[in-house]
Amino acid sequence: MMSLFRFVSRVLILLTLVAAPAAAQTPILNQFIGELAAADLVEGADGFGPIRADLPVAPILRGSETVGWAFVTSDFVGTTGYSGKPIHVMVAIGPDAVLQSVTLVKHSEPIVLIGIPEAKVKALTASYAGLDIAAEAAQGGAAHDLNIISGATVTIMVIDDSVVRSSIRVARALGLGGLVVEAAPEGPRFEINAGATAADDWHTLVGDGTVRRLSLDVGQVNRAFEQVEDPRAAQRPISGPEDETFIDLYATLVSIPGITDALLEPGEAQNLRDWLAEGEQALLVAGRGQYSFKGSGYVRGGIFDRIQLIQGDISVRFRDREHRRVGAIAAEGAPSLSEMDMFRIPADVGFDPTQPFRLQLLVQRDVGAIERVYTTFEMGWQPPAAFLTEIAPQAAPAAALLAETDEAAAKTALWQRIWRDKKVEIGVLAAMLGLLTIVFFFQDFVTRSAKATLWFRMGFLTVTLVFLGWYANAQLSVVNLMALAHSLVTDFTWEAFLLDPLTFILWFSVAAALIFWGRGAYCGWLCPFGALQELTNRIAKLFHIPQWHLPWGLHERLWPLKYILFLGLFGVSLASIDQAEQLAEIEPFKTAIVLKFDRAWPFVLYVGVLLFVGLFIERFYCRYLCPLGAALAIPARIRMFDWLKRYRECGNPCQTCANDCMVQAIHPTGEINPNECLNCLNCQVLYRSKTKCPVVQRREKRRATASAGAAALDRVLTNHPNRKET
């Protein structure tokens, strides 16, 4: 068996090394241009020309005539959606800068998981055909109405933003529709004047533009919805007086030192400075009225989908980890505001605090049971002249070198900022790992009391499920391992893995634990879904639900299934990591832990079946189906220590531990299978039990007999007539 696992390990390493792609910097267009015919993009076209060397676009040909240009949005702009992965859209643009077709070619969005047909998203994407990019460039990308699918707001906003911005860039680069590449701005350059001060009263701050205001009443919003294409929006106006406040919205760049001191209390101002890393900025948004600029979508999805910051060709959407509430506005005369929040602008998005920007507000209206219509309003902001200082221009090579340095620094600052934001979670995880390590090292002492061991285990598993799983979403997955293997042969960077501190720490602790204890340290104690299975089974036992102990022959033939599943997934990942991630839905972790059962019914039913079977067969999924457990078991063969103690009589004839092992990891012959063992320590409790272990009972009986014999002999000797007194 050991030789088999060594062979498998070597095969996996070899396959990983030979699976390196030919080129890591190939344009994304290369991946998809062969999937669509030219006629699918432009009517009457019959082929593509070669992709340009200077720009990732390909001419669309009708004979020898170029009738358009094809490109993928993610070659030009960031297109990260809810899933954290790019949304790839193929665009065909004509010589007049009008879009000929727009096709969603690939995404990793969980759209279908919440009941939204993918065809609906593809249809909306295709509706961008006919969009005049020259007009969009003239109006900063705001010349069209934004159509939204309810429940997929962020996804659609990402698609809209990426289609418009990438098309503007391509049109300018190719000179389509009369557009030209924008020359570098001439004239003086500026930086923020850290010594400038702002007024200390609210009315002056609003009056001089330091704080900008967008005030909408009910009548304005009703009239705006009358202009949208869907007539149902006008049929459901907001009730109430037309002059009633719908939203009174204020915004400013609060990271500018003078504005910080004017608007925030000293303690909160210092907290803001500690919160921001080098190159980061912060936007203060405050409001009151009927409508919330935050909404509640960020609670479920982590993204504030009602506001976005737009500056030139960049747009910034804010996530919950980039958000902080503000306790109070310090400026004299500030109104009572129901919402006051700060949003951090990462250093790597290209935002320039010295340049104007727009804050876009998305307003929604229900037109059906699950349907909504949307419209947008905007406010502009630019730093007052007092906060700007002119700087001398830099030479181009130095500027380019500085840009590269800033990019590296920005990446480092990003993951460091995330780690600072997760200090509490990291501390709790460190305490859990430290406590578990102590328990494993001193298990002889811990397992002396069966009751104490049981309560400790149930308490630890509860923390694992509630804190690590449902709160922190720190559920490891076989997808992590496949992504790591893929990145090792493509574009591995530590920054990509450091962005999720809890997962990073867990994987390193798992790697260390494999040397000492095998896979059981994670699978038996730190896996949230494993904890869910065991806790539900424990409840089932309290209600006297019968437990099924599979015959050893059947069990021995079922447990290799998980290794087959893992090897299959790993093999698929070598050909297509995306296909492997879809097949990895064999793992119930996303449904039960990450999404907390808020998913389409087939996924919930699948998890329900696993948990139901687990009421009768303890840890059913862990035993037979978990590819992650199999992946951890293979390298766990290198573990250097064997901590679990056994008697010579274990298995021959005693079967107490084998019959009581929750995952049947103990062979009838007495050996513990380290690949299946979850280190629950139950066998070590039994090893010391004077009531359950026959070996201990016999030894106690012999010890008692020997003690009784010694006492009797002592009495005889004491009363012997020939004994002399001393």
Length of the chain: 726
* SS3 category, 118: helix
Q: Are 52 and 58 in contact (CB under 8 A)?
A: yes
Under a CB-based contact definition with an 8 Å cutoff, are residues 365 and 372 in contact?
A: yes
Q: Average of pLDDT values for 248-269? A: 93
What are the two backbone dihedrals, phi and then psi, of residue 61, each rounded to the nearest 5 degrees? -110, 145
Same domain, 258 and 296: yes
The Cα 305–Cα 374 span in angstroms is 12
Q: Are residues 509 and 544 in the same domain?
A: yes
Does residue 475 belong to any structural domain of this protein?
A: yes
Region 220-235 average pLDDT: 86
Q: How far is CA 474 from CA 427, 635, 676, in A?
A: 14, 22, 23
Range(s) of the domain holding residue 165: 28-174
Helix/strand/coil for 350: coil
What is the reported pLDDT for 217?
Answer: 93
Q: Which of 388, 409, 441 is the last residue of a domain?
A: 388
Q: What are 308-324's pLDDT values in tens digits?
A: 898 876 778 888 778 89
Same domain, 127 and 207: no
Q: In this structure, are 330 and 263 located in the same domain?
A: yes
Q: Per the domain annotation, does 412 fall within a domain?
A: no
The answer on pLDDT for 578 being more than 60 is yes
The region, left, alpha or beta by phi > 0 then psi within -120 to 50, assigned to residue 393 is beta
Residue 400 lies in a domain: no
**Across residues 231-257, what is the average pLDDT?**
90
Residue 671 lies in a domain: no
Is the domain of 306 the same as that of 203? yes
Whole-number pLDDT of residue 125: 87
Query: Residue 112 — very low, low, confident or very high, per pLDDT cuts 50/70/90?
Result: very low
Please check whether residue 395 lies inside any domain of the structure: no
pLDDT band of residue 255 (cuts 50, 70, 90) is very high
391 and 191 Cβ atoms separated by less than 8 Å: yes
Q: Is 582 contained in some domain?
A: yes
pLDDT at 110: 52
Same domain membership, residue 471 and residue 329:
no
Q: Look at residue 394 and tell me if it is in a domain.
A: no
Q: How many domains does the chain have?
A: 3
Q: What is the pLDDT of residues 173-205, one digit of tens each?
A: 888 888 776 555 555 678 888 889 999 899 999
| Residues 441-466: tens digit of each pLDDT | 888 888 888 888 899 999 999 999 99
Query: Looking at the structure, do residues 436 and 579 belong to the same domain, yes or no?
Result: yes
User: 264 and 215, same structural domain?
Assistant: yes
Q: Tell which wins on pLDDT, 222 or 12.
A: 222
pLDDT at residue 12 in the model? 45
Q: Are 97 and 171 in contact (CB under 8 A)?
A: yes
Q: Which of 343, 371, 388 is the last residue of a domain?
A: 388
- What's residue 652's pLDDT? 80
Q: What mean pLDDT value characterizes the chain?
A: 81
Q: Report pLDDT digits (tens) over 13-64.
A: 444 443 433 333 578 888 888 888 989 999 999 999 898 888 899 999 998 8
Flag whether 186 is in a domain: no
Average of per-residue pLDDT across 687-705? 81
- By CB atoms closer than 10 A (0-12, 13-18, 19+), residue 274 is exposed
Q: What is the pLDDT of residue 486?
A: 67
Global confidence as pTM: 0.54
Output the pLDDT for position 9: 46
d(CA 340, CA 329): 8
What token pair was written down for 226? 């009358």
pLDDT digits (tens, 9 = 90+) for 343-393: 999 887 788 899 899 998 988 888 776 677 888 899 999 999 889 888 766
CA distance 351 to 344: 11
Instruction: Provide the pLDDT confidence category of residue 8 given band limits of 50, 70 and 90.
Output: very low
Q: Which value, to the nearest 10 degrees, does the dihedral of the CA atoms of residues 18, 24, 30, 34 take?
A: 20
Looking at the fold, whether 67 and 163 belong to one and the same domain comes out as yes
- Tens of pLDDT, residues 404-414: 444 455 456 65
Q: Tell me the pLDDT tens digit for each residue of 69-106.
A: 999 998 887 666 555 567 889 999 999 999 999 999 88
Residues 513 and 604 in one domain: yes
Specify the pLDDT at position 85: 67
Higher pLDDT among residues 482 and 341, named by residue:
341
The one-letter code for the residue type at 489 is V
Of 146, 174, 202, at which residue does a domain stop?
174
- The token duo for 668 is 């009838």
Q: Can you give the pLDDT at residue 445? A: 86
Same domain, 49 and 109: yes
Q: Which contiguous run of DSSP H or E holds residue 221?
A: helix 218-226
pLDDT digits (tens, 9 = 90+) for 136-185: 887 767 677 777 665 566 677 778 888 888 898 899 888 888 877 655 55
Q: Mapped to the 3 state alphabet, what secondary structure does 620-652 carry?
A: HHHHHCCHHHHHHHCHHHHCCCCCCCCCCCECC
Query: In Å, how far from its chain's centre is CA 232?
Result: 37
Strands 65-72 and 88-93 come out as antiparallel
Residue 402 has pLDDT above 60, yes or no: no
Per DSSP, helices labelled H in 19-89 are: 29-32, 38-41
Q: Over range 259-271, report the average pLDDT.
A: 91
Alpha-carbon distance of 197 to 203, in angstroms, equals: 16
User: In the chain, what is the straight-line distance between the N-terminal and C-terminal CA atoms, in Å?
Assistant: 67
Interval 414-443: pLDDT, tens: 567 668 777 888 999 999 999 999 988 888
Q: Any idea which residue has 């139950």 for tokens?
A: 682
Same domain, 142 and 205: no
